[in-house]
Structure 1
Amino acid sequence: MTVRAEQRVIEPRPWLDSIRPYHPGQHAASDDGSLASNESPLGASPHVARAVAKAASGAHHYPDPLAGELCEELARLHGVAPEQILIGNGSDELIFLLAWAYLAHGGHAVCADPAYRMDEISSQVVDARLTKVPLRDWTHDLDAMTAAEADIAYVVNPHNPTGTALGLPAIECFAADSKARLLVVDEAYIDFTDDPDATTAIPLAREGRAVVLRTFSKIHGLAGLRVGYLVADRRIVATLRKIRAPFSVGALAQAAALAALGDPGHRQAVRRHTLQYRRALTELVTRAGYHVIPSQANFVLVQAPDEDALITRLAAHGISVRPGSALGLPGTVRMSVPTAKGLHLVEQALA
C-alpha cells in the first residue's frame, strides 16, 4: 500500500498580504480608442523595427549584461560618466532595486498620495514603512514631505496620475531641506513638459544629489520592450549592479533603445503631437462641461463626480480610459493624449 505524503504548504511573508495588486489599463478594440495606458500615439521610430530585426539574428547569444553601448550613449546625452548610468527592465525594475538596496527590512519611504503604484508596491514587498503625503492643489506638497525622516523620498515629476509638474528650483530646495537620505525623482513624462530643461533634475543627479529615473516607454514608444534607466552617484549604481539580474534587459530591447536615441526627429514629432493634442483634448473635454487638471504629461486628468458614467459614455464609442478610483483619485478619469482619430472618437462620445 502506498501512503500519500501530506502536502506541504508554505505561507508567504505576512506583510505581503496587505499588497493591493497592480491592475494595468485595458486596451480598447482599436489602438485609436486605447487611452488608458499613456502609450505613444505615434508609436516607435521606424528605425526601431529594423534594428530589432537585425538584432534578432543573434538571439542565441546572451545580451550585454550592463548594456554598455546604451550606457555610453546615455552618458553623452546627459553629460555624466557611464558609471553613473544603470539600464533596467523598464524603470520599474530599477524602483525595485532601490527598494531592495535602501528600504529592505524596516526602511522608511515618503511619497505623494496618491503614489505611483510601483513606489508603493516595492516598499511593501521589502517590508518598509511608507508615508504618503496628500497632494496640495493637485501637486506634491514638498513642504510637508520635507519633514519626513525617510530613507527614500519619491518625487514623480510630472506626477502620475495628475500630470502636474514642479520646476527644478522647487526640486533643488527639497533636495537641500528634506530629511530623507536619498531623493528619487521619476521623470517618465519629462519630455512632455513645456520646458524639459527647466524641469529635469538631471543636474542634481550629475552632482550625486539625487537619483533620476527615465523610461523609453513614453516619448520613445517602446513600452512593449521594457527599457528604463537611472542616473545617479557612482556608488549607488555600483550597489544596484550587484543585486540586479545580469541579463534583465534583452538584446532586442537594447538595440531598440539605441535606434530610438538615434532618431531625434521622431522624438520631436511625438513631443509636438503630444503638446498639440493635449491642448485639443483639454479644450474638447472642457467644452463638454468637465474640469481638466492642467497637465504637463501625455495624459489629462478629468474631474468627473460620476466617473462610471463618463467611462461608460466613452466605452460606448470604443474608448478605454483609466478610472481615477483605481489610481487613488476617485471622482476623476485619466485619459491619454490620443491620435487624430482617437480625438475624433472622444469628440463623438462627448457630443
Structure 2
Amino acid sequence: MIRPRPWLHAIHPYRPGSHAVTADGSMASNESPLGASPQVALAVAAAAGAAHHYPDPLADTLRAELAHRHDIDPDQILVGNGSDELIYLLAWAYLAHGGHAVCADPAYRMDEISSMVVDARLTRVPLRRWTHDLDAMADIDADIAYVVNPHNPTGTAHTHSALERFAENCRAHLAVFDEAYIDFTDDPDTTTAMPLAREGRAAVLRTFSKIHGLAGLRVGYLVASKEIVETLRTVRAPFSVSTLAQAAAVAALRDEPHRQAVRRHTLEQRTVLTQLLTDAGYQVVPSQANFVLVRATDEDALVDGLAAHGISVRPGSTLGVPGTVRISVPTAKGLSLLQQALG
C-alpha cells in the first residue's frame, strides 16, 4: 500500500469560509460585494467560442495589460491560477527538500502549507501589535520571507518605506510581498512594494479575486526579476490559466470605473462596519483590507449569533487568531442584516 510522505501528516488542511443562504449574508471569504465588472461576462461569452483550443500558455495579452499598468517589462510578470499557484511554484523552486521560509504568525495559510508540502523548514514570527514584526523577521536567515501586506487575517499594513527597509536589511534571499488587498488601503501608492519588484529587489503577488471580483475564475500574477520568472516558468503547468479566465482578467483590468466603484464602496462601508461593531461593544483591529477583525471574548457565541440571522463569518480560531472573528465588508443589504443581528 502506498503511503504519503511522512511530513505531510503535520499539515492541517485549509478550511475555506462557508457561504450563507444569501449572497448578502456571506461575509466569510472576503469576496467582492459588488461582483465582477459587467464587461467580464461579455468577454467570457466571447472567449467561449475558442474553448476547443488550448489557452495562451503565458497569457501574453494579459501580461501586456499588466506591464502597461505597472510600467514594467512583461517578462517580469508570470500569470498563475490564482496567486496560490504562484506561492506553490515559489515553494517548489526555492524551498523544496530542506529550504527555509519565514512568515508571520499567524501566516497566510498557503504560505504555510506550501512550505510544509515541499518539506521546508518554516519559522513563524509572532505579530507585534497585530502587524508583521519586520525587524524580527529581517534577522532570520532564510530562503524566502513572506510578508502579506495588508495582512490576512488582521488587515494591518506597513508603508512602502518600511517594506523597502525590510527588503534592504532582511537576511532572506528573497522577500515576497503578497498584495492581495493592496487596492483597499487608504493610499495604495505609499503602501505597495511594486517598485521593489520592478527593480528586481523583491517579488510581489497580486490577485484578481478581490477588487476585480474574479474569485471563481482563479487568476493571479507575480512580478519579480526576469531570472525568477524564468525559473518559475520551468516548473509551472503550461496551461494553468484558462482562456476564459484570461479573457475575464483583461476585461476587468480595462474597466477602471468598476474597480474604483468597488474601492469606494469598500472604504466607505468598512468605516460604517467598524463603527457598527464598536457601537455594539466590540474592539475592532484598524483595517486596510476589505474585512475587519473583531476581538470577541466568546468567539463561538458571535459566530453562532450572526449565523442565526443568516450571516456567515470566519472564526478567528480557523485563521490562527482565536478569540476573534473576521467579517468581510458586506453589501448594503448585508450591512442591514448585521445591524439587525447586533441589535
Superposition TM-score, scaled by structure 2 size: 1.00
Structure 1 counterpart of 2:187: 195
Letter in 2 for 1:39: E
- Give CA deviations for 1:250-303 in whole Å, capped at 9, x if unaligned: 000000000000100000000000000000000000000000000000000000
Work out whether 1:160 is the aligned partner of 2:160. Answer: no
Instruction: Choose the corresponding residue for 1:76, options 60, 68, 74.
Output: 68
Residue-pair matches, total: 343
Q: State the percentage of identical aligned residues.
A: 76
- Give CA deviations for 1:88-112 in whole Å, capped at 9, x if unaligned: 0000000000000000000000000
Structure 2 counterpart of 1:6: none
Instruction: Choose the corresponding residue for 2:270, options 275, 278, 289.
Output: 278
Provide the C-alpha distance between the structure 2 equivalents of 1:299 and 1:261, rounded to a whole number of angstroms: 22
Structure 1 counterpart of 2:138: 146
Provide the C-alpha distance between the structure 2 equivalents of 1:350 and 1:135, rounded to a whole number of angstroms: 29
Work out whether 1:174 is the aligned partner of 2:166. Answer: yes
Provide the C-alpha distance between the structure 1 equivalents of 2:264 and 2:139, rounded to a whole number of angstroms: 39
Structure showing greater radius of gyration is 1
Please list, as runs of the form range in 1=range in 2, the aligned pairs for 1:208-223 lying within 5 A after superposition: 208-223=200-215
Q: Which moved more, 1:37-46 or 1:70-79?
A: 70-79
Structure 2 counterpart of 1:92: 84
Letter in 2 for 1:222: L
- Give CA deviations for 1:61-88 in whole Å, capped at 9, x if unaligned: 0000000010111011111100000000
Work out whether 1:339 is the aligned partner of 2:331. Answer: yes
Structure 2 counterpart of 1:59: 51
Provide the C-alpha distance between the structure 1 equivalents of 2:304 and 2:80, rounded to a whole number of angstroms: 37
Instruction: Choose the corresponding residue for 2:317, options 321, 325, 335.
Output: 325
Provide the C-alpha distance between the structure 1 equivalents of 2:133 and 2:231, rounded to a whole number of angstroms: 30
- Give CA deviations for 1:18-70 in whole Å, capped at 9, x if unaligned: 00000100000000000000000000000000000000011000000000010
Provide the C-alpha distance between the structure 2 equivalents of 1:61 and 1:147, rounded to a whole number of angstroms: 49
Work out whether 1:128 is the aligned partner of 2:120. Answer: yes
Work out whether 1:312 is the aligned partner of 2:304. Answer: yes
Q: Once the 2 structures are TM-superposed, how far is the Cα of residue 305 of structure 1 from its aligned partner?
A: 1.2
Structure 2 counterpart of 1:5: none
Structure 2 counterpart of 1:50: 42
Letter in 2 for 1:135: L
Work out whether 1:235 is the aligned partner of 2:201. Answer: no
- Give CA deviations for 1:145-203 in whole Å, capped at 9, x if unaligned: 01100000000000000000000010000001100000000000000000000000000
Structure 1 counterpart of 2:13: 21
Structure 2 counterpart of 1:256: 248
Letter in 2 for 1:235: E
Matched position secondary structure for 1:57:
helix
Provide the C-alpha distance between the structure 2 equivalents of 1:284 and 1:73, rounded to a whole number of angstroms: 39
Structure 2 counterpart of 1:34: 26
Runs of 4+ in structure 1 over 3 Å off: none
Structure 1 counterpart of 2:295: 303
Work out whether 1:293 is the aligned partner of 2:289. Answer: no
Letter in 2 for 1:299: F
Uncovered stretches (5+) of structure 2, i.e. residues with no partner: none
Letter in 2 for 1:292: V
Matched position secondary structure for 2:175:
strand
Provide the C-alpha distance between the structure 1 equivalents of 2:46 and 2:257, rounded to a whole number of angstroms: 22
Provide the C-alpha distance between the structure 2 equivalents of 1:146 and 1:98, rounded to a whole number of angstroms: 19
Q: Report the aligned-residue RMSD.
A: 0.3
Provide the C-alpha distance between the structure 2 equivalents of 1:72 and 1:203, rounded to a whole number of angstroms: 18
- Give CA deviations for 1:112-136 in whole Å, capped at 9, x if unaligned: 0000000000000000000000000
Letter in 2 for 1:324: G
Letter in 1 for 2:257: G
